[in-house]
Chains A and B, each alone.
Chain A
Amino acid sequence: MGLMLKYVIAGLARYWLIHMDYWQIIANRVEIATPLNSWKRLIEGVYLYDNNINPYEGDSFHESPLMLIFFHFFMKKFPYILPLLFTIFDLITAHLLYKTSKSFATLFKNAQDKMKDEVNEDSKTMLLSNSRLDEAPDYVLSVYLFNPYSVLNCAGMTTTVIQNLLVAASLWSATSGHRILACAFIALATHQALYPVLLIVPIAILLADINKGCNKCSYIRTLLVFVLCWGFLIFISAFIMDGSYKYVYNTYGFILSVPDLKPNIGLFWYFFTEMFEHFRLLFVCAFQINALALYIVPLTLRFKREPVLLATVLIALSAIFRSYPCVGDVGFYLALLPMWKHLFTFMQQKFIVACAFIITSALGPTVWHLWIYSGSANANFFFGVTLSFATAQIFLITDLLFAYIKREFTLKNGTSRQIDGKPAKLVLR
């Protein structure tokens, strides 16, 4: 009953925000809408497509052709249903995350039972009871439903709503062991925004863990299904655009080469505004490798026993370092964090991070207004805010990982922080 009430309230809030007079302002905010996901660009693309002009000929549309025909259909046939559609999509995302964390709780329980013997005697109390584990899904749901970032993202009707839905669906299918579904959803998300391609690694590990048997075969099978799905989507998209692969330049090309320098909450825009032309390519490559390839191998090796944590961290890192991030991405990974509620006690920078989130969220729109509308500030102000927002998120993620390894250490070696009765402290070596 309480669950239902949450859905209804969150749904009504989103629906009301979309129908508010200030909706246009929400939909146009730089923090919410980027060139990649904004509703305005979607409309423009659909309009051009409807008028028999190839939307990929120009620079105004960066969604995949699948999204183009999907929204073309809805805008032509049932334009009035779209606000409802976005609300429902977001609620489904929330529900899928709820389901995911439920299955995760089961997975966690099983893993905990298995390693009970390795746990140090005086750390036994730290093992999670069933009731504590069952709390987490409720928190996940509440955070996704009532986090202002995700609410505003849905109210702005950005296509990140769809991306979140696809990623949530793939996580849910992976935790419940549906290989083909998981791969299909992750391929869809990758086709839309490229960065979710990272998630294939944790999903492959998850599927191998759940569907017991030959691990390597499972990895290969997952990868194969994903590549097939992705290839099929690329082909189908070209088929929609009359066999032309020119859309790739406007979707993946746009994400990778960062030609539009409109400010957003990420690190790319001002960096590449101020970049020396000579070094542009070098730094574009460096930043994209940082977002796409750099952390995947070391994190996988380190956290291969915790694929869900790996997935959370990869989603978060790609949300921080992607070329066109928006608050919708941030809201999504924040909703995953309550699954790691038991790590919060080991985190040291909770207060700093919380303050930074609140302050930057308030300061960002303020300095944006000062710069763009009143002309009394300049770009550096907004850059400073985005920089500290990114720093806060990085602190959050690294703190979470530190908390995890600290808990791992404590479970193994006990809660005592003493060597031979002398005080000692935990350090990395």
Chain B
Amino acid sequence: MWIRFRKILLLVSITLVYVVADDFKEEIFIKPLPPTNLYVYFQFITQNEETSFEHSHLAPRSLGEIMSRYQVDELHLTLTEGQWRHNKWGYPILDASSGAELYAWFSPSVTDVDTHWRKLSATLSGLFCASLNFIDNFNTVTPQMAMWPMGAIKVNKNVTSQLRYATLPREIVCTENLTPWKKLLPCESSHGFAALLNSRMIHNTNYHSIGVHVRKICKVEDCSEINLEIKQTVALVYDLKIINSLDWSFRKLFGQGLPGPCPLSSSSKIYVDVSSNDTFPFKLNPLPDSVVLSQRGGSDTTLAIYNIIPTNHMINIGAEYGTKDKVLVTIPPPLTFNRYVLGYGKEFGGIVTEIKNNYWAPIDIVLLENAPWWLPIQLSSLRINGEAQSKLVKSLYYSPGRSRQKPYHLELLMRLPSKSTTTITIDFEFVFLKWQEYPPDANHGFYIGSALISANLPTARNYTSLPVTGSTMDSIINASKPWYPAIFRTNGAMVSLPTPDFSMPYNVICLACTVVALAFGPLHNICTKELVLKAVGSPISLRQKIMNLFKKKQD
């Protein structure tokens, strides 16, 4: 009797801890983007008490084990297809470079960061069925200024040395990545918002990005206790122009309605940005539960909020536009950028990064150029607005690359003057690879990853990211700050490296060796033999020669 009571007591106490520790929330944020696009952003937040990861019932154990095994403090993985157009669409909640992007901070107790990093990427590669196992020292950099942790870290710790960053710009994202990603969710894809993530529909979008972000957040005010937050995100941009109607609904976007919230979630909310309703009116159907005005950093945002509660019918939220002949006007964001490759031929070229500051005050940015080893950049050719020594550069970090071992890594801390365009040019030389180093379809070209631009924006215009301390969408409401940190990825680029003839390794080996033998033979003769006179027979007449020729033919 006593034993059973004790068991019950134990059970109750454990359950109590769980209720406090684990928490799952799901949210959707929808925003019409100029001119005719629609941004749909899903986020699934699982919070877990870090110490009891092994006993969690909501947080994915597979991910938790990776985190604890490789002593990862913070992890960001995104798999993206398409290009976010910052100058048209404004800024996304979380920016991602196209292809695969992975960065992580390891615990300060890790000394051999590179080994842990390689193991981490290999394990994640298995977990998400992505080619992350191709991440190695030759495509990994340690950003010195451009990145900072999003989670709680101990102050006065050098976290930069524990950071590793890598991108695989050629990675193609598809269903095989989405399915394991969905399996990490408590309700998987059977219930809740994840049921909308139908790969048939979402891989048809202009831009889609799935991500996993793990960080530490403070549980209490003084940060004496720490929780682990696992945030899974999906960002989609639909182009409504191609269906010839700006009206949207869940049925149109995802092929089905919303079956209801995930039963395990503590909150399931949908936010629709209806700020554009004033200039370009549309009607939401069904009507939102509440409408909130958020004033943040000089820009007003009106959010319509739906609180999804369990129902026995499909929920189909949609918008209907009254007039069809209008288009949304782009309000240029404070900072826009562009990147392209210069030059012709396959011998010398240059990479140009153009950064435009549209704001009336100077903006400080860090630009990280990360050139793969097969694109050797020359620091001596760095020009900012055509000048070798520019006053705009406040600090510079350069780590030269080494072939097949280390990428070229350049970081510039710059102050962009107000209302200006800054052009950063750096020259590179094309590298001739070994024939087995070319990927299949070598003439397709080689992808250069995005440059990173991290900035502290003075205004929240076009800014939708959550504040560092927040994890849910409601944290952006009235979240005015002196500045708004953001890390952007420029567009990538492609170069076409010169190729050898892949079909003739044997011929080349034979021909080159023949030439060597051409030298060896006579030199061997000269050194080992001596000249002598040898009698020759009487000279043959021309007629005889011709006769001999015919004789041979007859044989």
Contacts and interface: CB of A to CB of B under 8 A. Distances in A.
A186 B404 CA distance: 33
Contact of B431 (A262, A267, A401): A262
A378 B404 contact: no
Interface of A: 28, 30, 40, 43-44, 46-48, 51, 53, 55, 57-60, 259-263, 267, 269-277, 283, 287, 290, 294-295, 298-299, 301-302, 317, 320-321, 371-373, 378-380, 383, 387, 390-391, 394-395, 397-398, 401-402, 405-406, 409, 413, 417-419, 422-429
A275 B400 contact: no
B519 A372 contact: no
Given A298-B527, A419-B535, 14 more contacts: A58-B400, A60-B378, A271-B512, A298-B528, A372-B346, A390-B515, A391-B515, A417-B533, A424-B534, A424-B536, A425-B536, A427-B533, A429-B530, A429-B531
Nearest to A291: B516
B529 A428 contact: yes
B519 A394 contact: yes
Contacts of A51: 379, 396, 398
Nearest to B344: A373
Interface of B: 344-348, 373, 376, 378-380, 396, 398-404, 406, 408, 429, 431-436, 498-501, 504-505, 508-509, 511-512, 515-516, 518-520, 522-536, 539
Given A59-B401, A259-B404, A398 B435 contact: no
Query: DSSP majority for the A interface?
Result: helix
A294 B533 CA distance: 29
A258 B38 CA distance: 53
B525 A428 contact: yes
A401 B523 contact: yes
Contact of A287 (B432, B516, B533, B535): B516
Contact of B434 (A47, A48, A57, A273): A273
Contacts of A275: 434, 505, 509
Contact of B511 (A259, A294, A317, A387): A387
24 contacts: A43-B380, A44-B379, A48-B380, A57-B400, A58-B402, A59-B373, A261-B434, A267-B516, A270-B508, A273-B432, A273-B433, A273-B500, A290-B516, A290-B520, A394-B518, A402-B522, A402-B526, A405-B531, A417-B533, A423-B535, A423-B539, A426-B532, A428-B529, A429-B529
A409 B531 contact: yes
Contact of B378 (A40, A317, A372, A402): A40
A47 B379 contact: yes
Closest 10 CB pairs of A and B: A58-B400, A47-B380, A298-B527, A398-B522, A373-B345, A428-B529, A274-B505, A274-B508, A271-B512, A424-B533
A395 B515 CA distance: 10
A299 B523 contact: yes
Most buried by B among A48, A271, A373: A271
Contacts of A259: 403-404
Contacts of A274: 435, 500-501, 504-505, 508-509
Nearest to A55: B400
B399 A57 contact: yes
A14 B524 CA distance: 40
A269 B399 CA distance: 27
Nearest to B347: A372
Given A48-B379, A271-B512, A274-B500, A299 B527 contact: yes
A46 B378 CA distance: 12
Contacts of B535: 419, 422-424
Contacts of A270: 500, 508, 512
B383 to A, nearest CB: 13
Contacts of A28: 347-348
Nearest to A429: B532
B89 to A, nearest CB: 36
